[in-house]
Amino acid sequence: MSTLNGKVALVTGGSRGIGAAIVKKLAQEGANVAFTYISSADKANALVAQVEKNGTKALAIQADNADPKAINDAVNKTVSTFGKLDILVNNAAVFIAGSLDQADEMADQYNRQSDINIRAIPAAVRAASKVISDGGRIIIIGSVVASAVGLPTLTEYAATKAAAGAYGRGYAWDLGHRNITVNTVHPGPINTDMNPDEGEFADILKAKTALKRYGTAEEVAGVVSFLAGPDAGYITGASINVDGGILA
């Protein structure tokens, strides 16, 4: 029996990688799923077709997650299309690395990273809080670098992911009176097109994990699906590592 039958979810940044895996997993569990994308229209439309072929509904919404109005509009479009919102997954993120002596020349890139990785979270939660069902679920995708940076050049990115975890803990208190849970999932090295398991730093990252491998987007999506489901009703304000033991 599917655990999310009748539920409606919105996933930010859902057209590829971890986001696409989350969209597919939530739909597999019975949810109708809206997701945002910024430029990959072909991938977004293909994902909609794949989801709907399996019997649930999907909606691709073009939106720049650096724009609070676009996020608010995405929440409202989800509700106007599917009639409600039960699950919000804040997944959209960018990864910008750079050395300390590059900080001035990379200021615009770092500001955009902060807009998407940090400021988009409260924008989405504030918009969703007006419409999300009591007993709903909010899940934020962070990163293990929030707790242990591990390599140089990751400071700015790591700071954004530490902020994501802080938002998860704070919103758990802000929304607990409505029985809405808020949790943060912190992936370790995950095999995606942005961080392939045969990439430049792959051997270093594999060696840092207890399992000596990258994880898959589907393994992250499985944890998100659990947190969105009925068995996770007493888990809130938690930070859950999906990292192969990199922080063990």
Per-residue CA distances from 243 to 81, 186, 205 (Å): 35, 7, 10
Going by pLDDT thresholds of 50, 70 and 90, the confidence category of residue 151 is: confident
Instruction: Please say whether the dihedral angle defined by the alpha carbons of residues 119, 183, 43 and 55, taken in this order, is positive or negative.
Output: negative
User: Would you say 45 and 18 are in contact if contact means Cβ atoms under 8 Å apart?
Assistant: no
Q: What is the mean pLDDT of residues 29-36?
A: 98
For residue 201, being part of any structural domain is answered with no
Alpha carbon distance 209, 248 (integer Å): 8
For residue 198, being part of any structural domain is answered with no
State both tokens at 18: 């971890």
In the chain, the amino acid numbered 156 is: E
| Number of domains composing the chain | 1
Alpha carbon distance 13, 20 (integer Å): 8
Q: What is the CATH number of the domain that holds 156?
A: 3.40.50.720
For residue 72, being part of any structural domain is answered with yes
Q: Measured in Å, how far apart are the chain's first and last C-alpha atoms?
A: 34
Q: What is the mean pLDDT of residues 201-227?
A: 96
User: Would you say 201 and 151 are in contact if contact means Cβ atoms under 8 Å apart?
Assistant: yes
Q: What is the pLDDT of residue 95?
A: 94
For residue 197, being part of any structural domain is answered with no
pLDDT over 80 (residue 203): yes
pLDDT over 70 (residue 16): yes
Going by pLDDT thresholds of 50, 70 and 90, the confidence category of residue 99 is: very high
User: Would you say 25 and 222 are in contact if contact means Cβ atoms under 8 Å apart?
Assistant: yes
For residue 196, being part of any structural domain is answered with no
Kindly report the average pLDDT of the chain as a whole number: 96
pTM score = 0.97
For residue 57, being part of any structural domain is answered with yes
For residue 194, being part of any structural domain is answered with no
Alpha carbon distance 214, 206 (integer Å): 6
Q: What is the mean pLDDT of residues 153-177?
A: 97
pLDDT over 70 (residue 1): no
Structural domain boundaries, residue 87: 8-143+151-188+221-239
**Which residues are known to be catalytic?**
157
pLDDT over 90 (residue 194): no
For residue 123, being part of any structural domain is answered with yes
State both tokens at 61: 């919404």
Can you say how many angstroms the Cα of residue 192 is from the centroid of all Cα atoms in its chain? 14
DSSP letter string, 6-61: T-EEEESS-SSHHHHHHHHHHHHTT-EEEEEESS-HHHHHHHHHHHHHTTS-EEEE
